[in-house]
Structures are given as C-alpha cells and as structure tokens.
Structure 1
Amino acid sequence: MKTRDLFNRKTVLSFEVFPPKKTSSIDIVYNTLQELNGLSPDFISVTYGAGGNGSDSTISIAADIKNKYGVESVAHLPCINFTKENILDIIRNLETKGIENILALRGDLNPEVMPKNDFKHASDLIAFIKENGNFNIIGACYPEGHMDSGGIISDIQNLKIKVDAGTDQLISQLFFNNSYFYSFLERTKIAGINVPIQAGIMPVTNKKQIERMVTLCGVNLPEKFIKIMEKYEHNPIAMRDAGIAYAIDQIVDLIAQGIDGIHLYTMNNSYIAEKISNAISSLINIEKITA
C-alpha cells in the first residue's frame, strides 16, 4: 500500500526506527518493532543506518515490518554517495521485497567520503525513482529551514522543486515550537505545495540528546522547553516523563489544528512511543469528515 492513501480517512500516526549499530544486536530493533506493532501505527519508517551506512539492513528490516508484522513500511534512501546504477539496484531490491514507499533524501555530506555526482539534490533522486519505478515517494521538509539553505524563502522554493519532481507526501524535521510549523504550512500553501505534510515529533528524554539535535539540525528551543531541561536534567525519570508530556502537549495542539499526521521519532524506545500513542489514540482515530 502506498502511504499517501492513508491521509484520506484519518490523522496519520507513524513511527521511525533505525537499524542497530554494528556493535549492537539486531534483536534490539526487532524487540522494539514487536512492541511498536502492538500500537497499530499506520506505517513505520526505517532510517539508512548509523552515519548513512547500510542499505541491506534498512531493506531487510523494512521488509520484515511489512511482511512479518503486517504494517506498511518506508525505507529511507539517501543519494549523495550513490551512482544511478547503485540506486537502480536498490529500488529493484525494494520491489522484490514488496516495499512500495521510499523516503528520498540527499543525505548528509561526509568530509571523509567524496560524493558521487549523479545526484546532487533529493529532487534529482525523486525524479529518477519516478522514471524507474512505481513507488510512493516521501520527502523531508524543514519548518525552520534547512541549515544549508539560504533562508526560509529559499528553502520553500527548493521544496517546491522537490514536490514538482514527484514527491507524494512530506515528513518534517523535528521542532519544539508549533508556531514554526504553522507558519511553514502557510508558506507551503502560498507556494502551491498541496501534498500531505506530517509533523515530525521527537520526545526528548535527556539534555545531551537535545544538545546534539540542536547542533545537527539547528532547531530552536522555546523558553518553556529550556526550563524543563534545566529543572529535570539531573533526574532521568523526571526528564523522561517531562519530555513525554511536552511531546503530547505538542501533538494535541497539532491535531486540534487539523494537521495531516504525526511522525514520531522513537529513537527505538518503545516505552516512550507507547505512552504517547496511548495518550493521543482517541484523537488520532477520529475519522475525517468529508463533504
């Protein structure tokens, strides 16, 4: 099933997991998947391994999500370090495994790896996949603007190029202030971007985690969130529970505003996903009213 069709009937709830590092057991992610499956997500996406390495594990896990657990899956696919021949091999493998949904990304630049020249932007990959397969393509979007863009206006213009290349739906980068997301939605409407857009939410459970996210993604932290970190940073249980409560508060507000869906960055933590999913289940499962 192509996940874009899910948005016709309800507010979509999806989860993201990542393959284990080479030093970790694969059982860890499968234990997480077993527990996430019990929460009845609309789909689960699988990142492209730690540091952008490992298509085999991504595809294998995504295939098991769909074929073993019966949940629709999405495979992440970065392109900056691949040739067209590499991408063709990967999408043929995805077809063989029955995976119909791809999250198409440029991928992070690695100073130790010389990027290939076949795909300089995610839009190049999206157009190539559309020409060579029958996939539902998901793109990434950035409510506060991509760190490499020349500003929010330029970022929206680039997003329009990505959508025009064949993107069927979008998932946002994490954010902690909903006003940024609402402003972003207004800009996409003005730009003529009409595909479903899910809000990416990451429950923060420790201070080191959020400091890393700020460095990597450049997200802004509201004063309310900073005070939570300062008060509970030395109490792991309190910090975890406060992070869950903050995420739930964000999600309730987003759903009340009628957004298309929530994409929860689980960090392979099924406990957090369960607490949030249970808290919002009655809101998510309300059928959309159609005219």
Structure 2
Amino acid sequence: MKTSELFKRKRVLSFEIFPPKRTDPIDTIYDTVEKLKDLSPDFISVTYGAGGNESNRNTFEIASAVKNRYGVESVAHLPCINLTKEAVLDMLDNLKKAGIENMLALRGDINPDFTPKNDFKHASDLISFIKEHSDFNIIGACYPERHIECGSVIEDIRNLKTKVDAGTDHLITQLFFDNSYFYSFQERAAIAGINVPIQAGIMPVVNKKQIERMVSLCGVDLPKKFLSIMNRYENNPEAMRDAGIAYAVDQMVDLIAQGVDGIHLYTMNNPYIAFRIYEAINVLLAA
C-alpha cells in the first residue's frame, strides 16, 4: 500500500530503523523488526547509509523483508547525491520486483569519501526523475527549523514547495524538541500551498552524546527543559533513558491533541523505547 493512502483513514504511526553495522550480520536487525511488528506500525522505513552498494543491498533487502516476511508496509530510503540516473533506474526495477511501493527520496549528506555525481543535485531532481519513470509513492524530508544549509526559513519553504510540486506524496520532518517550531512550520507550509500530509519525526534521546551528535548534524534547538534533563541525568543511563522517553511522550501527546497527521518515531533500533512510547500514546492515536 502507498503510505499516502494511510492518512485518508487514520492518524499514522511509523517507525524508522537502520541496517546493522558492516561488521554485523544483516540478520541482527530482524529481531528488532519482529518486536516492532507487534506494535502494529503503519509502516517501517529503512535508512540508507553512506557506504555505496553494500548499504544499497542491505537497505533494500531489509525493506523487502519488512513487507514480504513480516507483513508490515515498508519504505526504502534513497539518497541521490552519489547516484547516477542509470543506478536509480536499476534500483527502481529491483524495488518494484520486491513489491516495495514507497520510497523516501533524499539528497543525502555529502561524504568526503565519495565524489558526488552530477545527475541529482537536489532531492527534487530525484523526485521528478522517479515520477517520470515509475509510479512509486514518494516521501520527502522537511525541516521545522529549516535545513542546516539553508539561509532562511523562507528559502527553506520555497525549496520544500519545489520538492512537493515535483511529486512528493507526503512529508516526514527532521527531529525537533520544541513543538512550537513544528506548528510555525505547518503554518508556513499551508501559506505556501503545501497540502500533503506531514508526519512529525520524533527521536527519544537516551544519552547525551547521541543528542550532541544530532545537534551538530542537524542544527536543532534544545529547549531549556530538555537541557535540564540531559544535565541532570547524563551520568545515570537508566534515568536518562526514562526521562528521554517521557519527554518524547509529552511531545507526542501535544502533537496529537493539535491534530498532527502522524508520528514517525526514530527508534534507533531499540524496540524497548518504541514499546514504551506505543504503550503511552496508542489510545490517543485511535481517538
């Protein structure tokens, strides 16, 4: 099923997972998928690393297993900065043969170990190309606090409108820790004529190093309340985990009360965290 169809029937809950490290067998991820399946997600997305063909194979193999072995709708991530048009056409063919209908189209981070190709400079270029050659359901990324490389929120929303006009069927946000950024972003998107479903991407933070890395990569703002949690519990892993889960649940309760289209949970391959959050918000999602 195409994920864009889900929003016509319900508020959507989905999970993100990532392939195991190169040194670990690919089967190590399937125990995680098995446990996440029990939470009845509307779909599970599988990230694509910066490791070239090996990441490609792992992403597509896992996405295929999510759908065909575990019976959960899947989304394969596809960053384009290091891909040629010929490579993308080959990937589309392989995904179609695996029964995968949904793709998260990204530019991808520029990796100094790989020379970028020139076929796709932006995610919108990839989206247009995919729509021209297939009928895949395309998901796009969006940034409540603007993309870290973008000069202003106005420029960022213009870029997003280009992406949506190219054929994006629904959007998932980058992580954020202050819901006011999300609501302001929703308003800007509506004014710009962006009317596809927007899922809020939420990442429960379970350790201080994790969030420091995310901030350096994404440039997200950390509210005072959140900083207090990190500083108080950084040396107590169990307390930090539970406080991070509680903070994420508070975010989600507020988002659901305000009518969010859906929640996309960055699980970090941790089924325990997903279970605790599902337990807290499941009834609200159905209300």
User: If the TM-score is normalised by the length of the shorter chain, which range does it land in?
Assistant: over 0.9
Q: What aligned pairs does 1:45-124 form with structure 2 within 5 A after superposition?
A: 45-49=45-49, 54-124=55-125
Task: State the partner residue of 1:256.
Answer: 257
Q: Secondary structure at the match of 1:98?
A: coil
- Name the stretch that deviates more: 133-142 or 105-114: 105-114
1:50 CA drift (Å): 5.6
Contact 1:21 1:50 in 2 (8 A): no
How many residue pairs align between the two structures? 286
Q: Is the 8 A contact 1:16 1:46 kept in 2?
A: yes
Q: Which residue of 1 is the match for residue 277 of structure 2?
A: 276
Is 1:156 paired with 2:154?
no
SS of structure 1 residue aligned to 2:7: helix
* Alpha-carbon distance, 1:245 to partner: 0.2
Superposition deviation, residue 28 in structure 1: 2.4
33 and 50 in structure 1: CA distance in 2 versus 1, 3 angstrom threshold: farther
Any idea what the Cα deviations from partners look like across 1:126-161, whole Å, max 9, x if unmatched?
Answer: 000001111100000000000111111100000000
Check conservation: 1:103, 1:139, Cα contact below 8 A.
yes
Spell out structure 1 runs of 4+ moving beyond 4 A.
50-53
Gaps of 5+ in 2: none
Please state if 1:225 is matched with 2:226.
Answer: yes
Residue 8 of structure 1 is matched in structure 2 by: 8
Worse overlay, 225-234 or 104-113: 104-113
Q: CA deviation at 1:105?
A: 0.2
Aligned equivalents of 1:14 and 1:113: distance in 2? 31
Could you tell me whether the CA contact under 8 Å between 1:19 and 1:50 is conserved in 2?
Answer: no
CA 1:51–1:236 in structure 2 vs 1: closer, same or farther (change >3 Å)? farther
**Separation in 1 of the partners of 2:193 and 2:242?**
39
Q: Work out the CA distance in 2 between the residues paired with 1:229 and 1:114.
A: 37
Query: Paired residue for 1:21?
Result: 21
| 1:146-183 deviation line (CA, Å, top 9, x unaligned) | 01111111000000000000000000000000000000
| Maintained 8 Å contact 1:73/1:99 | yes
Residues 203-244 of structure 1, C-alpha deviations (whole Å, 9 max, x = no match)? 000000000000000000000000001110000000000000
- Structure 2 distance, partners of 1:149, 1:168, is 23
- Pair 1:110–1:50, CA change in 2 (3 A): closer
How far, CA to CA, are the matches of 1:159 and 1:167 in structure 2? 10
Tell me, yes or no, if the aligned pair for 1:20 and 1:26 is still in contact at 8 Å. Answer: yes
* 2:26–2:58 Cα contact (<8 Å) kept: no
| Partner in structure 1 of residue 203 of structure 2 | 202
Tell whether the 8 Å contact from 2:44 to 2:73 is kept in structure 1 after alignment. Answer: yes
Contact 2:138 2:170 (8 Å CA) reproduced:
yes
Partner-residue secondary structure (3-state), 2:174: strand
Tell me, yes or no, if the aligned pair for 2:46 and 2:77 is still in contact at 8 Å: yes
Shift in Å at residue 25 of structure 1? 2.8
Aligned 8 A contact 1:49 1:57 in 2: no
Structure 1 Cα separation of the partners of residues 9 and 273 of structure 2:
26
Partner of 1:192: 193
Partner of residue 42, structure 2 = 42
Contact 2:172 2:201 in 1 (8 A): yes
The answer to whether the 8 A contact 1:20-1:50 is kept is no
Unaligned runs of at least 5 residues, structure 1:
287-291
Residue of structure 1 in register with 2:126 after alignment: 125
> Residues of 2 paired with 1:51 and 1:12: CA distance?
31
> AA paired with 2:4?
R
TM-score, length basis structure 2: 0.98
- Contact map agreement 2:60 2:95 (CA 8 A) in 1: yes
1:191 is displaced (CA, Å) by 0.2
